[in-house]
Chains A and B, each alone.
Chain A
Amino acid sequence: MSSDEIGAESTATRRTVLRAGVAAAAAAPIAAGQDTAAADTEPAGTQTGPARVPLKVNGRLHEPELEPRVTLLDALRERIGLTGTKKGCDRGECGACTVLVDGRRIKSCLTLAVMQQGREITTVEGLAHGERLHPVQAAFIGNDALQCGFCTPGQVMSAIGCIEEGHAGSDAEIKEWMSGNLCRCSCYPNIVAAVRQAARELR
């Protein structure tokens, strides 16, 4: 499907089943002829297989074709091409995949892209205004808060959430509330310093 076909109607592709109890029931392991009662309650919009999924990322609407099983992280990186968000563990344990959804920090490896339709998703690519860095990005550079940089996009997104939530009041508080982000280069003291400085500037 080419990009000029993107539109309201095109969200229903061949394999999106709008009001089709039959097809959705076929996807469930139910022998034919059984359980017609359940099929009666099948609502509109059961998705089986790939379909256009509208995702608003950094203020722009994207409509990648996705199966329901694609995580938000994989959709961002592999389908939309925003590779700033990193995949470390894919299990919620490292924080490298942290993004903001409607302003709240979450781990994009633990949610499905189809679950995030209609939300405002912000990735590290959406922070700077042209050449002007977000204060948290600038603070990370200013405080030398990275070595290899792999964890950094997640740290920066998480720090924005941490400051926004009001959990950057002391070093101890920053450590606790940044604990969802691991750094294998162990830049922790400098990360804490960066968050502290950015919190002061954003106040």
Chain B
Amino acid sequence: MDDFAYTRPDRPQVAVALAARPGARFVAGGTDLLNLMKDGAEHHDHLIDINALPLSGLRKVEGRIEIGALSRMSDVAAHPAVREGLPVLSQALLAGASPQVRNMASMGGNLLQRTRCWYFRDAAMPCNKRSPGSGCPAIKGQNRRHAIVGGSEHCIAVHPSDLAVALTALGATVHTLSPRGARSIPMAGFYLSPGNTPHQETVLGQGELITRIDVPVTPLARGSRYVKLRERATFEFALVSVAALVRTQGGVVREAGLAFGGIAPRPWRPAAVEEALVGRPLDAAAIKAAGAALVRDAVPREHNAFKVALVQRALAEALGEFGGSR
């Protein structure tokens, strides 16, 4: 790791003023940032440690749960209000990383973790995301872990966060602070598609601080669940995953929120999947139609075509919990 300056401010206003300068970066848990810096995938001159800022803890208010950006994955997953009201969130967090990492990793940092594309993490390789314009070796190279939807000819990396998939299905809102003030960003508009600027992953500006995440608590969210398929039983990133919120009445789907991980450069929530289900009985035909809608525009590559079938099976598995039959 190259050396850097280090500051630990205790006021958000000070933190964002410091981080607005080029070369500065926040550090929360450090669990992704340190790896990126050790691997030479990122270089920063000044780390702003945000752990002294008052951004931890959960608050239950009418109709939603507000989660401080510094809350740790393990604490959020174990919180009774989350386990009862937002099971998909608790399950997605517990399906990620390891107990030690979850004790360190923050909610804000989780949303901003970078892709696990092996070319991106190897500073000796070209990569449009790391060095814009240098090329994408994954498209014709080893792409087993890469995207089947939503990619571009410049980048087909997948976003690795399980949390982001759950929050997308839940319709959460990210709150931020920058020297220009506070704003709120719905999850649906938080991540950017790669296009020809894959290095720009979110709408956040330099030094914009995530302060909290608001998650609506609804009857729909109460019965939600997370299905994650991976290459070993645990402690592994998703090959494919599904965050599923479904409300049925008399066997008919009334409401659905479905987001997918492991298949796209950002959490993937195509309206067509939900449209294929709502108003229909949750039977094999509806589940099949939803799966078909999900992969209609898929562009599988040499090593990842298996994801086309796998993600449809994961969807069927997730919907099975809501009384759907395959």
Contact = CB atoms under 8 A, between A and B. Distances in A.
Interface stretch (A43-51, A133-141, A142-150): A43-51
A20 B313 CA distance: 59
Contacts of B233: 179
Classify chain A's interface size: 35 or more
A14 interface: no
Interface stretch (A78-86, A108-116, A121-129): A108-116
A111 B23 contact: no
Interface string B83-105: 00000000000000111110110
B46 A28 contact: yes
Given A28-B22, A71-B34, A165 B99 contact: yes
B21 A69 contact: no
B2 interface: yes
A9 interface: no
Given A47-B5, A68-B4, A95 B98 contact: yes
Interface in A39-84: 41-43, 45-49, 67-69, 71
B24 interface: yes
Contact of B5 (A24, A161, A177, A181): A24
A7 to B, nearest CB: 21
A24 B45 CA distance: 10
A114 B3 CA distance: 13
B5 A46 contact: yes
A92 B18 contact: no
Contact of A41 (B18, B31, B104, B234): B18
A114 B51 CA distance: 12
Contacts of B2: 69
A68 B101 contact: no
Given A110-B30, A111-B34, A112-B6, A180 B98 contact: yes
B23 A28 contact: yes
Interface in A2-56: 24, 27-30, 35, 37-38, 41-43, 45-49
Contact of B45 (A28, A98, A175): A28
A46 B103 contact: no
Interface string B17-52: 110111110010111001100100000011101010
B38 A38 contact: no
A177 B101 CA distance: 12
A116 to B, nearest CB: 10
A162 interface: yes
B3, B23, B34, B99, most chain A CB atoms within 10 A: B99
A90 B38 CA distance: 9
A28 B5 CA distance: 8
B21 A91 contact: no
Contacts of A68: 3-6, 47
Interface stretch (B7-15, B152-160, B238-246): B7-15
A52 to B, nearest CB: 14
Contact of B235 (A47, A49, A180): A180
Given A38-B21, A111-B30, A46 B51 contact: no
16 contacts: A30-B21, A38-B17, A41-B14, A47-B6, A67-B3, A68-B3, A92-B98, A105-B100, A107-B101, A110-B29, A110-B30, A111-B104, A161-B100, A179-B233, A180-B99, A180-B101
Given A115-B30, A115-B49, A161-B103, 15 more contacts: A29-B22, A30-B23, A38-B18, A42-B18, A47-B7, A68-B5, A69-B2, A95-B98, A106-B103, A110-B104, A111-B30, A112-B30, A175-B234, A177-B99, A179-B99
Top 4 A-B pairs, shortest CB-CB distance: A180-B98, A68-B6, A41-B17, A27-B5
